Structure 1
């Protein structure tokens, strides 16, 4: 660590420990001064402390999570595996360069060329249901299901290692699934994809997408899982990555589409078009309304630190106009997917489950995503579970969001006759979308063991959904 950064770190620790936290501890004694009046004092302080730590990471660019291993680690609750891309990619016909593999084309190949992204050996961790006799080498059974998990961390932090908070979610979900009857996943593969680096564009987008694709091919071509038996899951930026992987599989058809999609607080609008211009933000945006209730810092600093590392050499306009980066950007051109009835999500997995908390900075993105995924289906709207906060409200409010800013051209197209003609140009799809809204919950709250009982209640609903069991209405907390 550089001397100035080390000095700032010492200063940060002292100020946080002896000034900031004691002041917040006193300030939040009245419930009215907490991020949400329903929170306990300890929950409020924990969230404030986490937001403070994330702010420190953005200022110093110090990664607070475990880095990808260079050698096989010693593990207690999981099993480790290396993944060599050459073992699972189709060989190019006239070259030894695997970047020219027919598995890379379209948007992925374009972005790889701009960022000079190459292929690297990656790794992952296998998690198993408790007290099971499964191992990495256990042959895949016919029709066996598996969870493919992509961790979050704004693309430049986070880890799939068993010491990470994500591992606790993985293990608890597998433990809950073990109680379910029928065919449900008994093992989970968590990928350790390359993290973005502010100094090296070759690790920016689409490096993580390349690794996610290689990990997917490892499951289908090496392990032998059928695509329809894969449940693709991700939290935060991992949810963004899962959506990008589905889009690539849909667009280029290098492999079949996963059967299900599970998203925890997915980062769906990297551009933050929902919050409006930086100089004149929308007061009704959750980015403004929830700035004191989430673990994510709402400042431009957090936004720029994460987005700059992710974009590399790509211009900022990509966050507004590239559906691989911002699948629910309100500025998407019609030809780029921002058009009904499918809004760019035709051909996506048959089943999707989205988890969001009402105290999240990005909860509006999740509502837009859920409703756009449901548009163009036979149902038209998502199925609401959990606290069902937005149930009964007009779906157009979330699908198009008339009050939110967008380009003049996009608005003209939306209100034109061509727009309405497009609604009848495509057949409706058999695709189910479930929206799990949890009152006063924060970003990726199921990852945190201290966010109870909401965490366990949500995992229970997810397990029932995976097992095709009905979610009882009595489990829904309406107060």
Structure 2
């Protein structure tokens, strides 16, 4: 692969070509399509795929199991439906729920503490952030706390939440693999989504502001040493983790300068939002992945402000090398559509970056195994990847 430090950018934005689907515009249309999907499309497709994938030669990959094949197709069906009606059923409120006292709500800091790319504007201002600690919330002062994995969930900036339902599997893998740190913890962050129907309040830099709030809460309000904090993010969460790290490296414009974390783990990171949704069906690995044009288009249209461009490095981090000494480790699936661009991101960082970059590819897997490995049947492979990421951190953290 030919490696460059900056990907060639297009001069014309793809954003004006993206429009809200008909089925999401009014409630009657949404109810009609929902009825069609639940009563007819989903049952028939489930039956069809159940019969088809009984035969290995008809699976997306002959080496996949029946479960892996069927689950991938059902995930694509459900994600496609969600993007068509533009409604996120996987979002919960600010009440503790089953997470109990592990669930925390964090008030934002003073607005003048969010500077540069996170600076508040008329539409987007710092808001309330929430998160879930595993196995329990640390005491204030950070006494006795080991490594903290601060994780940002995936979902294209339009779906999912910080709850155990989505992140308990990933948190348990990271904590189980952490053998050199006593009292390690995971902290899953609930940031604003662009799909939340509150005007433009979920557009960039809303999620970045929330990530800053969560990080300041960890290192300032709880007093945890920043060198023990590891940013982690899957898919869009990986995009957000990189945006936060870039912000910390480029801090300017006043406000209190925040310290750098000890490391960063990326799981199928969304590193390029400049790929037009219309191009996905023709891309390599489209048939073996869950990434769909409808989902990416929804995210592009609601997340990227019109005054920015999808080629901006805070939007598409592959476009500009992140100059950092913070150790970066990347996991992805060899059968996901982002395989090529993730490899490009890694090679660019290695060629011109300042710090170590590790990688671990699960060759036959699709997108985001930290988020989907348990339900799809790639548990052992994802556990092996997590162990590799922890070994990388153990070797490189504290040696910047």
In the superposition, the TM-score normalised over structure 1's length comes to: 0.71
Which of 297, 306, 319 aligns to 2:310? It is 319
Looking at structure 2, the residues matched to 243 and 184 of structure 1 have their Cα atoms a distance apart, in angstroms, of 27
**1:200-221 CA deviation, whole Å, 9 max, x = no partner?**
2122111010000011111111
Give the equivalent residue in structure 2 for 1:468.
Answer: 395
Contact 1:246 1:348 in 2 (8 A): no
* Structure 1 SS opposite 2:348: helix
Task: Please tell me whether residue 264 in structure 1 is matched to residue 267 in structure 2.
Answer: yes
Q: In the alignment, does 2:324 pair up with 1:347? A: yes
Shift of 1:242: 0.4
Task: Answer yes or no: is the 8 Å Cα contact 1:239–1:267 preserved in 2.
Answer: yes
Q: Distance in 2 between matches of 1:19 and 1:72?
A: 37
Cα pair 1:151 1:159 within 8 Å, conserved: yes
Residue aligning to 2:150 = 148
Is 2:79 the partner of 1:54?
Answer: yes
Deviation at 1:189, TM superposition (A): 1.2
CA separation of 1:251/1:309 partners in 2, compared to 1, >3 Å: closer, same or farther? Answer: same
2:156·2:296 contact (CA, 8 Å) conserved in 1?
no
CA distance in structure 2 between the partners assigned to 1:452 and 1:372 by the alignment: 30
Name which of 100, 104, 107 aligns with 2:114.
Answer: 104
List alignment gaps of at least 5 residues for structure 2.
1-25
Question: Over aligned residue pairs, what C-alpha RMSD do you find?
Answer: 2.4
CA gap of 1:107–1:237, structure 2 versus 1, over 3 A, is same
CA contact (8 A) 1:152 1:239 kept: yes
Give the number of equivalent residue pairs.
363
User: 1:303-318 alignment to 2 at 5 Å?
Assistant: 303-311=296-304, 313-315=305-307, 318=309
User: 2:285: which partner in 1?
Assistant: 290
Unaligned 5+ runs, structure 1: 87-97, 129-133, 330-336, 338-342, 378-428, 470-479
* CA shift digits 1:164-207 (9 cap, x unpaired): 2x222112321232xx2x33661111111111136521221110
CA positional deviation for 1:61:
0.8
Aligned to 1:249: 248
Q: Which residue does the alignment assign to 2:226?
A: 227
CA–CA distance in 2 between the matches of 1:176 and 1:189?
16
Residue 286 of structure 1 and its aligned partner are, at CA, apart by 9.6
What do the CA deviations read for 1:103-123 (whole angstroms, capped 9, x no partner)? 2222222xx32x621222221
- CA distance in 1 between counterparts of 2:182 and 2:262 reads 12
Structure 1 residue 187 and structure 2 residue 210: aligned?
A: no
CA distance in 2, matches of 1:18, 1:231: 42
SS at structure 2 position matched to 1:263 = strand
Q: Quote the offset at 1:17 in angstroms.
A: 3.9
Higher RCO (CA < 8 A, seq sep 6+): 2
**Aligned twin of 1:82:** 105
**Mapping of residues 23-42 of structure 1, within 5 Å:** 23-42=48-67
Match of 2:97 among 68, 73, 76: 73
> Counterparts of 2:194 and 2:211 in 1: how far apart (Å)?
14
CA contact (8 A) 1:184 1:466 kept: no
- What is the CA–CA distance in structure 2 between the aligned matches of 1:464 and 1:148, rounded to whole Å? 18
1:367 is aligned to 2:343: yes
Retained in 1: the 8 A contact 2:156–2:295? no
My pick for the range that moved more, 141-150 or 247-256, is: 141-150
How far apart are the structure 2 equivalents of 1:366 and 1:203?
Answer: 26
